[in-house]
Chains A and B, each alone.
Chain A
Amino acid sequence: MQTIFETPKTIKENSRFSFCPGCDHGVAIKLVAQVLDELGLQENTILVASSGCSVNLYDYLELDCIEAPHGRACAVATGIKRAHKVQGKEKFVFTYQGDGDFASIGLGESLHSALRGENITAICINNTNFGMTGGQMGPTSVLGQITSTSPQGRNKETHGFPIKTAEHIALCDGTSFSARVALFDVKNILKAKNAIKKAFEYQKQGLGFSFVEILASCPTNWRLSPLESHNKIENELTKTYPLGIFKDIKND
């Protein structure tokens, strides 16, 4: 008898996610927890949670955690990492943010953390809208995307173009790793896990800012079933947001 899968140790016992049915947030959190387990990081980690649907992430993960308001997660993580370092303590610090948090209201904090080469990791869930507040158009919404604030679809004349976050982060000289992954099937879920693992390992090795953008579903605001949402990511969103590794300091 061999256990092939069990609930990761880093997931709090008896926790039940508050996400909508079929929401990819749950898959991403499971992968993060699995990687923390596998790298033995749970005891030494500080999580910086953010605003958005994952705002109460500390209810699900058995980790030391702090909440950063409105896009400031990377700035808060910077302070935590540096303050511990000054005292001779090396903490593993990562942020978990949505696209609205990381790439919209917090873009300045995020980009400058990468430019400073802060030795932290940021995980950004990109579901191309402001999920928690009712599916408004965000900077990540793709051209033509119908949202609650772009009922005719996003158009470049009025709203401009969507931001390719992983590519931007990759351009920062302080970045050690930047990748975009997706969760629409088993193969891609495993790739996403490898990317998260690499990003975490690079922080452990002190290589600088590591980043994983995860294309994720928001079935509720997209008004699609969980399965249709995954098809949309595979067939439509990956055209605007190609999957891949945009920077790997060890290969460059």
Chain B
Amino acid sequence: MSYIVIDESKCKSCYLCINACPKKLIKAKEKPNNFGEYTAEFKDDKKECIACAKCALVCPDIAITKVVKE
């Protein structure tokens, strides 16, 4: 199962990753963090991630710290 790791402490909720993911696997969290920000969350219940790393490439804050292919 391929996956990505999002470091929530670095995410600034710009949502460029949400737009870039061809499988639509990234969403804004339903609950805000301590700064009131709805940071990005990886949700892949059907194991659709293809480890294309598009999300990590477009993230301006290197908040997506890892993309792993399995």
A residues at B contact (CB < 8 Å): 1-7, 11, 16-17, 19-27, 30, 185-186, 189-190, 219, 226-227, 230
What 6 additional pairs, Cβ within 8 angstroms, besides A22-B15, A25-B60? A2-B69, A2-B70, A5-B64, A185-B58, A190-B57, A226-B16
6 tightest Cβ-Cβ pairs between the two chains A and B? A26-B60, A22-B14, A21-B12, A5-B67, A5-B56, A5-B53
Given A5-B53, A226-B15; A17-B67 close (CB under 8 Å): no
- Which residue of B is nearest A30, CB measured? B62
Q: How far, in whole Å, are A226 and B51 apart by their CA atoms in the complex?
A: 24
Contact B68 A21 (CB under 8 A): no
Contact in complex: B60, A22 (CB < 8 Å): yes
Residues 6-48 of chain B, each 1 if its beta carbon lies under 8 Å from chain A, else 0 = 0001101111100110000000000000000000000000000
**B interface size (C-beta, 8 A):** 27
How many CB-defined contacts (below 8 Å) exist between A and B? 82
Pick the contact of A7: B13, B15, B51, B62 (CB < 8 A). B62
A219 to B59, CA, bound (A): 15
In this complex, what residue of A is CB-closest to B9?
A16
Which residue among A4, A24, A27, A227 has the maximum number of chain B CB atoms within 10 Å of its CB? A4
How long is the Cα–Cα vector from A17 to B54 in the complex, in angstroms?
A: 20
Is A21 touching B13 in the complex (CB atoms < 8 A)?
A: yes
**Chain A, residue nearest B16 (CB):** A226
**Contact for B14 among A4, A7, A21, A189, CB less than 8 A:** A21
- On whether the beta carbons of A7 and B65 are closer than 8 Å, the reply is yes
- Contact residues in B for A20 (Cβ distance below 8 Å): 12
Check A3–B66 contact: CB distance below 8 A.
Answer: yes
Task: State the CA gap A230–B9 with chains docked (Å).
Answer: 24
